[in-house]
Structure formats: C-alpha cells, structure tokens
Amino acid sequence: MGSFKSFEELACWKESRILRNYIKDEIIPLLPNHEKFELISQIKRSSRSVGNNIAEGFGRFNYQENIQFCRMARGSLNETLDHVIIAMDEAYITVEKLDGFRELHNRTLKILNGYIKYLKDAKLN
C-alpha cells in the first residue's frame, strides 16, 4: 500500500516484532511448565498474531481489507496484554515486567492506530 514495498517496512509491524520478542525473551521463560499448553500457548499465539495480521492485511492490496486485518491485529495486541496481566495476577511475573510490556503495548497500539488512520485517509482519496 502506498510507497511501501513490503510489510517489513511498516513501523507498526516492526514494533509488533519487538513486542513479540519481548514476550518470547522476557515473559515466557518466567512462566511455569504446567502452563505450557494453556497460558504459554495462548500468549505465543496472540503475540504472533499481531504481526501476522498486519502482514496479511498488507498483502490484500485493498484498503478496507487491510484496515480490517489491522483491527484484528489490535484485538490480538489487547488479548496479549490480558495474558500478561493474568501472568502477573498468578504471580508468575513481576509488576515491573507487566509495566515493561504495557509500554511496548501502548507504543505498538499508537503506531497501529496511526497506520489505520493513514489507510482510512488513503481510501478516501
């Protein structure tokens, strides 16, 4: 869309990658093994889904479809935050880890919302 040649150039996708790696490197290692097929699986899937949906929307070459996939990415972003809150509530992670994730979440959300606005404006022109 626009002048971008690949979804990899999108700031929102780059930020989602940072967020996904934070989950992989900073959160998942702290979760207990008995959560392997529950919380760990869910948090991996939702954190991966953010970037996956941004990439899939980019590949649709249609503004409205791209916007819809970005909205799904936004949903996955919030789902991931909920999983991290659960991890803190279960005392698997510290409040500081949650705060670190929340900072990434908020930055990713802001950039993603900006991209959605860009797509809506481009659709109208």
Give domain status of residue 7, yes or no: no
What CATH number has the domain bearing residue 108?
Answer: 1.20.1440.60
Give domain status of residue 5, yes or no: no
In the chain, the number of structural domains is: 1
- Angle between helical axes of 39-58 and 95-124 (0-180°, round to 10): 20
What was the pLDDT predicted at 4?
83
What was the pLDDT predicted at 31?
98
- Residue 1 above 60 pLDDT? no
Residue 34 · residue 69 · CB < 8 Å: no
- The CA distance from 21 to 43, in Å, is 12
What was the pLDDT predicted at 97?
98
Condensed to tens digits (0 to 9), the pLDDT of residues 2-16 reads 678 999 999 999 999
Give domain status of residue 97, yes or no: yes
What was the pLDDT predicted at 123?
82
- Residue 125 above 80 pLDDT? no
- Residue 85 above 80 pLDDT? yes
Q: What is the pTM of this model?
A: 0.94
The boundaries of the domain holding residue 29 are 14-124
Structure tokens at 117: 């606005």
